Amino acid sequence: MTMPFERTRSVAQTHAFLTELACDTEVPERIRQNARFLLRHFPTKNEVLLAGRIEEEAKN
């Protein structure tokens, strides 16, 4: 089982990776387009952190 901070880190790192792919002109255009499409629906690091704060506050 993963810990909440591990999931948060994983999502943030995945977002960074997709952003890097989308901007890398050495990567085929089809892959860059797919990365951009996925990023449209992928949460940013700030959105994930905000969701975590809201979840923690709801527990209290």
Whole-number pLDDT of residue 57 = 84
Q: How far apart are the first and last CA of the chain?
A: 23
Q: The whole model's pTM is what?
A: 0.80
Q: What ranges do the domains of the chain cover?
A: 16-59
For residue 39, give the amino acid letter.
L
Distance CA 55, CA 42 (A): 19
60 residues of the chain, pLDDT tens digit each: 677 778 888 998 999 999 999 999 999 999 999 999 999 999 988 888 888 888 888 887
User: CB-side exposure of 53: number of CA atoms within 13 Å?
Assistant: 6
Contacts of 45 (CB under 8 A, 6+ apart): 11, 12, 15
Whole-number pLDDT of residue 18 = 97
Query: In terms of Cα–Cα distance, which of 2, 7, 14 is closest to 42?
Result: 14
